[in-house]
Structures are given as structure tokens and as C-alpha cells.
Chains A and B, each alone.
Chain A
Amino acid sequence: MTTNERLRDTGLSRRELLQLGAGGLGLGLLGGVGPVPPVLAQASRAVAANPTGKILVVFEWFGGNDGLNTVVPYGDANYYRHRPTIGIKEADVIKIDAQFGWHKSMEGMKHLFDDGKVAIVHGVGYDQPSFSHFTSMSFWHTAAPNSGNEYGWVGRTAAALDSSGTRQNLIVNISDSQTLAVKAAKHVPLVFIDPTKFQRGLFAQERAVVDTLAAQTTPVGDVHRYVLEVTRSAAQASEVVRAAWDRYAATANADLRLLDLNKVVALIEADFPTQLYYVPLRGSLFDTHVNQAAPHDRQLQYCADAIEGFFRELRRIGRADDVVLYVHSEFGRRVPENTSLGTDHGTAQVNFVIGNAIKGGQYGKPPSLSDLVLGDNLESTTDFRRVYATLIEDWLGVDSKKVLGRPFESLGFVKA
């Protein structure tokens, strides 16, 4: 019997369990059906640990997505003047209004948009933009453009949500290596990419030793201390992730291609206490310098299908109201096409915020396509930290000044 089934057996809804609170409750309920396996006991504590149920998933599109060929300004003749060859023809766009239309590969996003669940934010960027993938993304990760911060904006949001730093697995990062955005002062982000390999392979008799692996209390230095901490955190997390994944794999719609968002669904379904998920897209497939049409079409299709499928799965497990998904890249691309039928690194980009809690529509002022700046680039109209502030304050309900250092005006895309 799964944890959810056990919880259902109690006749209490998940919401009621949340209202009852107290980790001890879960243990008591489960205690009635025999000894509680440690994994399930942890999961039941997890139910009590997420007090609002509100979840933010950041889906990062690394490589520099070409926003102009994603939400296409087909109504502006300047667009076709700058992009005579790779511009998306009016006949190929899925029209939103007289000015903009979705790239045809974004059919999945169109469905969500038509349901009123997608905020399109135009012209997102920052002053004095960097054209380096890595530098610009580090600005986005730290929310500190042309500056820096030791911790990421998601890591700092965790601190705002839980100043004591005691909530386990508040941040999950589906990635090979830890993303700078999730680096936190007190919270240890749970970083993994392949749940099936996230389990220590042990012969039965080795189990007696494994608890002593991280026994060292006097590390030889900071690096040693770090590896000891990760060893302890891995031991706690791997079993619960694995259990959640196995359960999800049994019920998942195998025909949906969710990219790495499937792991997020699995953990949400298992009532993980996580409020902050960070999912960077693997590879830098949006870096379309050359012959961009076919790879960009395909990449948008994969991503839009994954997002639509993600919300379909959330509806199936009854959690769609609890989740907002946010999509950004590190920059947009140069407005004029280059001579390689591609586009070079640019500035302002289009962002998406998606969820039942979102007031669908278009936000931010679309940048001008006639008054270009910084060598044929878009002038950003919306500081990306306004998007962050709206998510932190209006969705997660904590003071965004604590995270961003100063106030930023809300864009108002979250329903009251």
C-alpha cells in the first residue's frame, strides 16, 4: 500500500491532514496499520511540513531562447525586415492577437493560454546586459545583474520561507550538478537527475557499515566538510526519492514526454515538502547560431509539449492548483538574423508563467523593433527581478525585499 492509499484509508483528505498539521499525526495514523517503514514515515512527515502547499517550479531554458521566434510579433513589419529568411511567416503562427502569435510548435502552450493559465511577459532583461551565456545566467541565478551574490535567488527565497533553515528538502534541483540559483545559506538543496540511480547499491551485510561512512566529525578542511554534509543528506534523501519515483512510474502516462518535469510530478504526488523546484533543461539547445529553424522548431515543441503534459499530470493527481511554473532563458537573441540562418546572442527575452493561479494574458511592454540598442538588440522593458518579486511575494507569500534586497513592482499576474 502506498502512502497516499494509506492516507486515503484514513478518510481524511490531504487538505484536512494539512490543517491537522503535526508530523506525529501521520505516524499515529500509519501506526494503526503495522510497523511504519522509514520511507513512508518520512513522507508522512512531509505532508505536515509544507504549510501552504504552494509550489514554484522554475524551468530554465539555457542557451538563449529566441523569444521573437517563440511569441512572434507577426504584426510588425520590422520583424520581417530584420528576419527575411528565418522570420516565422504569418501563415505559420498561431495567432494570439493582431500583433503576436505563438510559433507553431508551441501548440501545447496555446492550449494552456486559451484556458487562461499563461502569463506572457515581454521584454524581460536588465540594464547593461552581458552577451555571455555563463555570465548572464549567473546574473539571473543570483538576481544580481552586473554584480554577484554568494547565494542564488531560489536559495534566498528558501531562507525567506524558512528562516530557521530546518525544513528538509525545501529545494529540489533536477540536475547533474547543483545550479547556482538554488545555492542557499542554510538549506541543502536535494540535487539529482536520475531517480533510478539515486540509491546506494548495497549487499545486505554491508548495511551495518553504511551509517558510519560519514562519521568523521573533524574534517581536514572545507572541501571535506562539504562532502561529509552531502553524504549525510544523500543518505536521507535517496530512499524517499526512489520510493516516490517507483510509485509515480507505475501510474504515469507513458506517452507524455515531460523532459525532466516528470521527476517534479513524482515528488509532488508523493507529497514532498518541497516548495521550490529548479529544473534546468539539459544541453544548450537554444543556442541557435546556425540554421536555426529545424532545431528551434523541435526544441520549442519538446518544451511546450512537456509543459502541457506536466499540467495534465498535475490535474490527474489533483495538484494543479498548487503549482506555478516559470520559464526563462539567460537572454534572447539578436534581432536581425545572421548570415548563417541563425541568430546571435541578444538581450531582452520573453518569459512565461503558467498555472491555475495565474491571470492569463500579456504583461510588460513589448520592446520596439525599430529602435534597437547595443548593436541591433532589443531594449529590455521589464527588469527580470520584477518577475521574481511577483512570484516570491504574490505567489509564495513572502517578502521579496528580503530576497532581492530592494522592492520591485509586482507585475500582477497572480490571481488574488
Chain B
Amino acid sequence: MAARSQWTPGPHAWHDDLAPLSAADWNYDRAAHLLAHAGFGGTPEEIQALADLGVDAAVERLVHYEGQPNPKLQPFVESGLWDSSLAEFPDSRPEATDRAEEHGASMGIAIKPAGNRALQPVSDRFFYWLRATMLETRRLGYWWANRMLATTHPLEEKMALLWHGHFATHENKVRDYRKMHQQIELFERYATGNLRDLTIEVARNPAMLYFLDAQFNVKGAPNENFAREVMELFTMGVGNYTETDVRECARAFTGWYFDDLEFKVDADKHDAAPKTFLGRSGDFDGVDVLEIIFEQPVTAEFLAGKIYRFLVRDELSPALRAKLGKVLRDADFEVKPLLTAIFRSKDFYGPASYGGHIKSPVEHLVAMMKHLGADSIPGVPDFNQSTIAMGQHLLNPPSVAGWAGDRAWITPNLLIARGNVARDVLIPDMTGFRDWNFSAGTDDVLGQRLRDGYDIGAATAVSDPASMSTFDRVALERDEKFNTRISGYIGWEQAARKLIPTPRDAARFDLSVMVAAGGATSAAEAVDYLLWRLLRVPAAGATRDALVKFLTNELGTDSLERAKSYMEDALRMTAHLVMSTPEYQLV
């Protein structure tokens, strides 16, 4: 077999050194390191193509991607779950039914003029949309993950993923997949653009406006939710502003709201009186305030540090952070010069950056498909369930602070989940798989009871009323006009009838062909090939030896030629074990 590239972290002298890597120090291994951090990893062919370009051109191709064709990207195809009657969706079920009682209808659904549970269709409609937007958001997650895999601009998607976790909103609260979709497109459009412009766009983005309660931020009654987070989490970090700045900032954003998918300003609700913010005074509006924030030296450092820690490694010295901040500030918050500086630097190829980054679950799953040579995200296992099990629910970060990242990705439970997801991808459980989009979970029993002829009261009662929670008891006593539990079930049914099904196919790849093409002829060579292709950080010798012994046993021979007709599953188990190593979690 041909000699393969070796793990080549640079010398310690490169640590924190932003001087560019010399052409002589460029090699295949460093190209692999670059693609793993600036994207989601790649096949040996993709890595070799970057290696052949040399470091400057390789970084140029990744950072300045705009002109490169991207033929495999697909638009998001909507299931058709939304209609305009849902535009003013109520914040809660009580609001939904109260509105109906007041106006005779709510969300386009009229109250029944007579009969039991006159408000049931209204309640059903409320739950319909909750389920519909949740289910469509799952499809949106699939769509985005497939873009990450298929794109020829991996850095664009990687950075969009960063901004999604940085300017975090979640569909659980936004309750509108269309706004989430619109936001992801914004993050792609500004992925490596100007950060001041992106922040202004985020402040005008309907998902964010709703998420941080902009509609309640009005003249005379400012709501501080966005004002606080824009400074604490999005631009400067805590400790760089006062509580007065928060209140003044909130006043500047008063009157900003949205109408469905469009940003609007209500001049009557905007507080146009002078404000004093971060030591400046004037009749500031939201854009003015953001521009003042971007004049603060700390903002460039805060954002440059965030980018670096997302792409390179969590450990970041104050000195390097200051240098990176200067690069971003000197470029007037254009991100491409900073990215170029990072990816060309000796520091990026130094010992602390090699193996210093824990892949996020989404990165992990997309990289897995890249490593295996699959060209789409599989339907089995389910992408969302898999990444949720590993601790990252795309389009639903846990809070406005996004995901904690880095070491928070690895707990005993989450680490085991990573190995299990690898197994489910490599050896999918095709016969045991059930599509969770078509199960209402614990409410499935309601559907069965209704079909068995139970009335709604009986169908929704628990078996032993004596042990019902006080919440259930109160709910039963209070709600005569509708039954929310049945609505939860009916809403799911109605949404699922319209939902475009997710294809439930297994990932398509062939490890037998792959190891043969890699020149392996023995079990040991097959293991060595897989370790080389899948891992950045080298595995322990003892792990390698155990894998060789395992594969030899499974094949019943050391010869791949002898075993080639039946070796696929044994190779897949080998790959599962490789992907379960601590080393596979790092790049």
C-alpha cells in the first residue's frame, strides 16, 4: 500500500502565532485539518484537491466561495401546512379559545353554534399548528443538514451553523418554521459577510423579534429582553455595559415589530426622545445603538473570539483574542479577512489546534456521511432524533445563549450516544425503525381508544383517577367547552395528513469497495485504512490491534480477497468501533 500522510501538528513555537504558514509547511495532513475545521471534513479526494492547491489557494477557495457552482443544493419544499389564517397565531391555548369566545372564531375556525364541546375545533386548530410547525421544522433540519453535506461551500454552512447558535432562537417558542427558514437563509447569506450588517439584520428578523418579545417593546413600556441579550450574548459580553444602558437600549428598539415575515417600525410606538447609551447621547433608534455597540473595542474581540473558538479550539489566550479582534476591527467587521488570517496562520496548524476541537453533534453526523462517502443524510436513523440524542436539536437550541459547545458536548451519556448513532448509521435497524413523525407519542393511545368507540371523556381519562395529578383534575373540572388532550392528538393527525413524508432510506455507501480502492489487501490493512480515513487524532496502538483481531475473526481470514464477497458488515462494525473512539470525537 502507498505511504499515507501522518499526523503533523506544528511545533510549539507556532502556538498563538498568526504569521502565515509557509508553502513548504503545507501537506495533505494540514489540508485535512483545514477541511475538518472550515467545513465538515471530506473524502481523501477532496482533501487531496485542497492539498494540491497550496495553502493560500486552498484557504482562498474555502473563504471566497461565491463564484463556485453549487449544483447539488436543493430549495426547501414546503408541505403546505400554513395558511394566512395562522398569521396572528395566539401565544397560548387559553388565548386561542378566549379569542374565539370573543369574536366567534379564531385562527379561521368558527365556534360550533350548539352541542357539546363547542370550542373543540378551535382548540384542535391551535394544536394543529403547534404540531404542524414542529413536524415541518424537523424537515427543515433535514434540508439544512443535506445542504451541509452537499454544498461546495462548506465554510458557508459551517458559519451559518455558528450564527444559528450565536443569534439563537428556537422553534419551540417561535412556533413558525417559516420564520426559522427565513432566518437560516439570512445566516447563509451573511455567513462570511459583514458582522455589523448581520447583527442589524438579526435585530430586524421576525424570528428574533418574536423570540425576544419585540412586539411588547413599546414607547413608555420598554421590554428589555432583546436589549439585554444583544449586548450580553450577541456583541460585547457581560460587564461592558450598565443596567441603565440596557434600559436605554430597549427604548431605542421600541416600535420595532414584524408583520408575518416582514420587519416593520411603528413610529407611534417608537420612543424618539433622546437617550444616553454607552456614554453617547442622541435620538437613537435600534440601528444607531447597534452602530455604537460596534464602535466598542470589546465587540470585535468578543466576536472574533467566538468565531475562533467555534472553528479552531476552545482554549484561547487573551493575547490571541486581542490580535484576532484587531483583525476583525481593521476590516470593519468583514469576516472573510479574519477567516483568512486564522486559516493561514501557523497557530491554526500548531499543536493546540490539532485535536483541540470537539465536533458538535450536527458536525459529527455530517462529517460521518462525508467520511463514508454517502451523498445524502439517511432517513434511518432519523437525523433529528440522532442529533437530539447526542445533545443538539437543530433549530431548537436550548436558550438564547445557544449551545454551550466544546466540552459540554461530551458527558458519559452523550458520548455513548455518539457511538450509538454511528452504529445506527452504519448498520441501520431497517425493520425495527418507526417514523416518529407519524406517532403522537403517548397520545397514540387516544387514537386507539377513539377508534375502539370510547367517547372523548373516557378516551382521555387515565386508568386510575385517584392517582391523577392535580393538574389533570383541575383540567377536567374546568374545561367543559373543549378537551385539550384530545386536541393534542387530533392536531397531530391533521398535520401528519398533509406532511410530506421524509424518505426512510439507509445511508448509501460501500466500505468493501472503499477499502479495496484504498489498496488494502489484509484485515490489518483494512483497519489501518479506516483509521487513517476516519480519524484525525491517531488511535492507541492497543485499539488498533484489537480492531485487527476483531476484523480477522469476523472475516475468518486475514485475506480481503478471500473475504470480499461477505466482508461489508464486518467492515461496518469496524467503522462503528472506530467512530466510538474518543479520538473520533475530535478534529
Find out whether the CB atom of B471 lies under 8 angstroms from the CB atom of A305. yes
CB distance from B35 to the nearest CB of A (A): 19
B191 on the A face (CB < 8 A): no
The one of A176, A206, A257, A291 in contact with B469, judged by C-beta atoms closer than 8 angstroms, is A257
User: Taking A213-B577, A220-B9, A237-B412 as contacts, is the C-beta distance between A284 and B216 under 8 angstroms?
Assistant: no
Q: Which residue of B lies closest to A173 (CB)?
A: B411
A387 to nearest B CB, angstroms? 24
- Check B539 for interface membership: any CB of A closer than 8 A: yes
Query: In chain A, what residue has the closest Cβ to B569?
Result: A203
Task: For the complex, give the distance between the alpha carbons of A288 and B540 in Å.
Answer: 51
B423 touches A253 (CB 8 A): no
Query: Once the chains bind, are A205 and B412 in contact (CB under 8 Å)?
Result: no
- Among A13-21, A37-45, A190-198, A355-363, the stretch in contact with B: A190-198
**What CA separation (Å) do A199 and B412 show in the bound complex?**
10
Docked-complex contact B409 and A289, CB < 8 angstroms = no
A131 within 8 A of B: yes
Chain A residues contacting B354 (CB-CB under 8 Å) are: 220-221
A228 at the interface (CB under 8 A from B): yes
| Docked-complex contact B469 and A256, CB < 8 angstroms | yes
With A200-B419, A301-B471, A338-B221 known as contacts, the answer to whether A227 contacts B412 (CB < 8 A) is: no
Q: Which residues of A contact B228 (CB under 8 A)?
A: 131-132, 345
Asked if B528 CB lies within 8 Å of chain A CBs, one says no
Counting chain A CB atoms within 10 Å of each CB, the highest count among B314, B411, B546, B580 belongs to: B411
Nearest chain-B residue to A236 (Cβ)? Answer: B412
**A25 adjacent to chain B (CB < 8 Å):** no
Residues of A within 8 A of B410 (CB): 226-227, 230
Measured between C-beta atoms, what is the minimum distance from B261 to chain A in Å? 21
Min Cβ gap A236→B in Å is: 9
Of residues 210 to 235 in B, which have CB atoms within 8 Å of A's CB atoms?
213, 216, 218, 220-221, 223-225, 228, 232-233
Q: Which residues of A contact B91 (CB under 8 A)?
A: 290-291
**In the complex, A212 has a CB within 8 A of chain B:** yes
Give the most central of B238, B391, B582: most A CB within 10 Å.
Answer: B582
Contact of A290 among B213, B351, B358, B586 (CB under 8 A): B213
Closest B residue by C-beta to A284: B399
Query: Judging by beta carbons under 8 Å apart, are B582 and A224 in contact?
Result: yes
Residue of B nearest to A214 (CB): B582
Q: Which of A190, A202, A227 contacts B358 (CB 8 A)?
A: A227
Docked complex Cα distance between A282 and B398 (Å): 8
CB neighbours of A205 from chain B (8 A): 550, 553-554, 573
Q: Which of A200-220 contact B (CB under 8 A)?
A: 200-203, 205-206, 208-210, 212-217, 220
Nearest A residue to B314, CB-CB: A223
Contacting residues, chain B, for A344 (C-beta < 8 A): 223-225
In the complex, the answer to whether A305 meets B573 with C-beta atoms within 8 Å is no
Determine whether the beta carbon of B213 is less than 8 Å from that of A340.
Answer: yes
Are B573's CB and A177's CB within 8 A?
A: no
Interface of chain A residues 272 through 299 with chain B (CB within 8 A): 282-284, 289-291, 294-295, 298
Partner of A176 from B213, B246, B391, B463 at Cβ < 8 Å: B391
Residue B43 CB within 8 A of the other chain: no
B464 contacts the other chain (CB 8 A): yes
Q: Which residue of A lies closest to B218 (CB)?
A: A339
For A177, give its contact among B404, B547, B550, B577 (CB under 8 Å): B404
Identify which of B415, B424, B547 contacts A209 (C-beta below 8 A): B547
Whether A208 and B550, one on each chain, are in contact in the complex, defined by CB atoms closer than 8 angstroms, is yes
Residue in A107, A178, A221 whose CB lies within 8 Å of B408: A178
For A216, the closest partner residue in chain B by CB is B540
Question: What residues on B are CB-neighbors of A108 within 8 Å?
Answer: 470
Give the chain A neighbours of B474 by CB distance below 8 A: 301
Chain B residue at smallest Cβ distance from A374:
B243
CB distance from A336 to the nearest CB of B (A): 11
Within 8 A of B (CB), among A161-209: 175-178, 190-194, 197-203, 205-206, 208-209
Contact of B577 with A220 in the complex, beta carbons under 8 Å: no
Contacting pair A213 B582 (CB below 8 A): yes
Q: How far is the CA of A227 from the CA of B408 in the complex (A)?
A: 11
Contact B420 A227, beta carbon cutoff 8 Å: no
Please tell me if B276 contacts chain A, counting CB pairs below 8 Å.
no
Chain A 224-247 interface 0/1 with B at a Cβ cutoff of 8 Å (1 = within): 101110110110011000000000
Of B221, B358, B470, B543, chain A has the most CB atoms within 10 Å of the CB of B470
Closest A residue by C-beta to B94: A294
Binding site for B on A (CB under 8 A): 105, 107-108, 130-135, 175-178, 190-194, 197-203, 205-206, 208-210, 212-217, 220-224, 226-228, 230-231, 233-234, 237-238, 253, 255-257, 282-284, 289-291, 294-295, 298, 301-302, 304-305, 309, 338-340, 342, 344-345, 374-375
Q: Which 10 residue pairs spanning A and B have beta carbons closest together? A: A234-B412, A339-B221, A192-B413, A255-B467, A340-B216, A191-B411, A215-B542, A215-B540, A216-B540, A177-B408
List 25 contacting pairs A-B, 8 Å CB cutoff, sorted by A.
A107-B470, A132-B232, A176-B391, A177-B404, A177-B408, A201-B423, A201-B424, A206-B550, A208-B546, A216-B583, A220-B351, A223-B314, A223-B355, A227-B415, A227-B586, A230-B412, A230-B415, A230-B582, A238-B416, A255-B467, A290-B91, A294-B94, A305-B470, A309-B469, A340-B213
